[in-house]
Homo-oligomer: A and B are copies of this chain.
Amino acid sequence: MTTPQLTKNQSLVFDVLEKAEGPLSAYTILDKLRDHGFRAPLQVYRALEKLLEYGVVHRLESINSFVACAHPGDNCHSHGIVAFAICESCGQVMEFHDHEVDHRLMGWVRGQKFKPEKTTIEIRGLCEACAA
C-alpha cells in the first residue's frame, strides 16, 4: 500500500501518534486534538481508518489502542505478519516480524483450508526497564 498525501485530519492524528511515547486510545487522541478543532470521536476514527489502510499506523487489539508504525518508509509489512511486544507498565511497544512464525501459522491454516485475512500477534508483559 503506497501512502498518498495525508489530509488535514489524517496528518493531525498521525502527528499525535508519532510524537506519543506509546499507544493511544482514540479518545485520548481526540482530547489531544481538541485545540485543533476536533470535537467528535468520528473525526479520529475516520482518520485512523485511513492511516491503518496505508499501513502507517497499527491497531493493538488487546489494548484498544493505536500506535504509529515503528518502521517508517518500510514496506516489510506487506510481506508478513507484524508482532508486537507491549509493556503493560510504561506502554512502550516493540514491533517485529519473523518469517518462521508466519510460515508456521500460515502452514497450519493452509492445512485447515482456512483463508486468513488479518492476523494479530500481541505479547503483553514488561519491558527490560520496567521488569527490573
Whether A109 contacts B131 by the Cβ 8 Å rule is no
Say how many copies of this protein the assembly contains: 2
User: Is A101 positioned at the interface, with any CB of B under 8 Å from its CB?
Assistant: yes
**Assuming the A-B contacts A104-B100, A105-B98, are A122 and B123 also in contact, with contact meaning beta carbons closer than 8 angstroms in the complex?**
no
User: Is A124 positioned at the interface, with any CB of B under 8 Å from its CB?
Assistant: yes
Q: When chains A and B are docked, how far (Å) is the Cα of A31 from the Cα of B63?
A: 26
Q: When chains A and B are docked, how far (Å) is the Cα of A11 from the Cα of B111?
A: 35
**Assuming the A-B contacts A112-B85, A114-B85, A114-B125, are A62 and B101 also in contact, with contact meaning beta carbons closer than 8 angstroms in the complex?**
no
Chain B min CB distance to A110 (Å): 11
Residue numbers in B under 8 Å from A27 (CB-CB): none
Whether B128 contacts A109 by the Cβ 8 Å rule is no
Interface extent on A, as a size class? Answer: 20 to 34
Chain B min CB distance to A124 (Å): 5
- 19 other A-B residue contacts (CB within 8 Å) besides A118-B123, A120-B121, A120-B123: A61-B62, A62-B120, A85-B116, A87-B114, A96-B108, A100-B100, A101-B104, A101-B105, A109-B125, A112-B127, A113-B131, A115-B126, A117-B125, A119-B122, A119-B123, A120-B120, A120-B122, A120-B124, A121-B121
User: B-contacting residues of A (Cβ < 8 Å)?
Assistant: 61-62, 83, 85, 87-88, 94, 96, 98, 100-101, 104-105, 108-109, 112-128, 131
